[in-house]
Structure 1
Amino acid sequence: MADTTHPTTSSGPRDAEAGAITRFLRATEIDTRLLGMVGALLIIWIGFQVLTGGLFLTPRNLWNLSVQTTEIAVMATGMVMIIVTRNIDLSVGSILGISGMIMGVVQARVLPQYLGFDSSMTWILALCCGLLVGLAIGFFQGMIIAFLEVPSFIVTLGGLLVWRGATWFVTSGQTVAPMDTNFRIMGGGADGSIGATWSWIVGVIACVFIVIGIINSRRQRKRFGFPRRPLWAEYFLSALGCALVLGAILVFNNYYWPIAIARRYAEAKNIVWPDEGLDIPYGIAVPVLIAIFVGIVMTFIATRLRFGRYVFAIGGNPEAAELAGIKTRWVTVRIFALMGLLAAIAAAISTARLNAATNSQGDTYELYTIAAAVIGGTSLAGGTGTIAGAMLGALVMQSLQSGMVLVGLDTPLQSVVVGAVLVVAVWLDTVYRKRAK
């Protein structure tokens, strides 16, 4: 097919500029919706940087922002699959709550009676129990939705109430603390970060995979006769990806342990405390690595596995998917079971970060998770959505919340802003779909 040409009879400086931008986006194949979301994120960051007097874009706040985003980001990857199939899950916050409470009770009250308080198996068994609870709840709700044909809105709305109440009954509303030392690594902090050296190693490995991925994609396109991007576009995307990764690591490595923690570390390691103090970088936080790993796995499932293709086929046209031989009911059960498992992973991060399991843990998280998926480009009409977009949407949501806290905005006003952003995101999705027709 010949390339589309643009007429030059009515072109002016503005038209030429628009044509250059269009050609650039077409050559690099950058998703315009994703690009718009990045632009919105930059506007939010710059705005809060001004409003907070330079506090927002500091290494400390950006590091904390990355950790705080992980829980919603992990669950948003599963919510994409749910919404793509024209369903909804309002129970993810409550599943997080009861999974976290089970993990807390198992490691703080049950296992110490049998394994002692210093067993290396405590955190593993507690984590497995929580993950199994989340998986079982998701599977149970999926069975009701798929085989009893109860709308997902009703089933998960009931689950929101049931599992929140069950969380309270596990300990009669008591907070369970503290958590196992090894378990707390999943929550970040000084012990839950990998330090400067390993962060740079991870960054270099990530850059290598980015370049290999782009090269492999080009080879596959050539093999099957698909059009390839210009070489300059391949170089640009490789450089951009590596720059973003290494830039993020540079920021993380410029956030240092508090003096008290660094001093205790020096005493424990018999390190002489220098007069100018000891700067120990946090590096990448473990929960951030967990979220990135989940994002990669979910992207692979959504784009490379038959299950992912079935999910999008059901979202595009459920009747046609059924006639094509796809077992739509079992696919529905699996996506809700997967959503329950992801909520339990988020529960592990949340419980480890708080060093406690509380009755209110995960409260309102279902709203933020749905908002992150929708803001990330997942269409409520079904059939459209990306994992990367949902994770970026989670970062947008957390940036708004973190910025409003730094500005000193009251909690009710924060809810107003989040609600307004969600409505605008759905409206923009509606406009986008109408123009795409």
Structure 2
Amino acid sequence: MMLLAVAAIFVVLVLFSMPIVFSLGVAGVAGLWIGGYPLQMLPSSLVGGSQSWVLLAIPAFVFAGGLMERCGMSHALVDFARALVGWVRGGLGMSVIVVAYFFSDICGSKMAEVSALGSTLMPPLTKAGYKREDSASLIAAGTAMGMLVPPAIFMIVIAQVTNTSAVALFLGGFIPAATIMLCLMVLVYFRARRYDWPVDTRPSVSFLAASARRAAVPMVIPIVILGGFFLGIFTATEAGAVVAAYAFFAARFYYRNVSYREIFRLAYDSAILTAAVVFLLAVASVFQYLMGVSGVPRLLADVLGPLKSAPWLFLMATALITMLFGMVLEGLPAAVVLIPVVFPIAEKMGINPIHFNIVQTAAVGIGLFLPPMGVGLLMALKFANLSVGQHWRAYMPYVGALLAGLMLIILFPQITLLLPRSAGLIP
């Protein structure tokens, strides 16, 4: 009864346009009061839920991503992707998927990525004859896939709430993201032949060399992240500092198109976003307490108990729930409210924590771009000037490709565990 009242308060506050993080906070405090629990535990829960060194990586990665996007690195990556795959039929569509993989590595924020890809790629897609529905679908599906490519903020948060290694989670995301990318590119290949999409560019060694030279600056980031983690040179927090410093020097001394005023503004915006994430983690600890004392974990364990003999079915069920949470609540609230409840159940079933977290990360990424309420999808549709009703039929094949990639990740855990195991981070 108490949880129903809390849920009702949360829904009412959201309907009145209160930000989700504050809606969760007010609903959580109301739950403590309705349930008769001591409010004295509130300050310690708020502090305890937000104390972790790994959270220091968030402002660094957000700042670096914003600075790199402002420099125009996305344009260099687009040209490089077009040089790689633009010579095949539908190559421009494939290049959207490829650049989404690369750009996720330097951006960190899904909304910033949608904005950058939408503004950069929508005009050439339209000029090449792609329908607006397919253009928006390519950008949405590519960005959803990019959720698995570090340094996504969601990965840092999920590592915190499940007490797992952020470095292992970062390494575990590279190959699953590439798996979903291949599924999307296969879909684009067949749709290009069905709808006679054009060849984007002719094979050219000179174009490939020139675009690779321009893309060398942003491409340093994934190499540094992957190599540094794999060799054990730095932690996730230290990687954030390294990437932020690199972004600063690249912006000031290579591109020379960002003023100090803009840099300070980006730093301020990064601090605001980090404060919102930390506050969300703090108020989520109250929700976790309420669900614990209400027996929700035990109830879920009983409901999901029949799936113990088939871990892949458990992962499918939890991924579906996470997708729905991601569509309704956005990514981070879904992580801090739902995943801490089901994570202990997965551990008891013998599911590797890194594999479980990667599956949930992929599910949240898909949920953010699911119709009709996914906030990432709605943002992508703004660039195409489309409504959900006009778009959803054309988008369904792309959702199918995303789900096919998710199923491969679920059924073959070694896709996720290969790099972390090779780096000696997991047995």
Superposition TM-score tier, normalisation by shorter sequence: under 0.3
Q: TM-score, normalised by structure 2?
A: 0.24
Give the greater-gyration-radius structure (CA): 1
Q: Which has the higher helix share?
A: 2
Q: TM-score, normalised by structure 1?
A: 0.24
Q: Which has the higher contact order (CA 8 A, sep 6+)?
A: 1
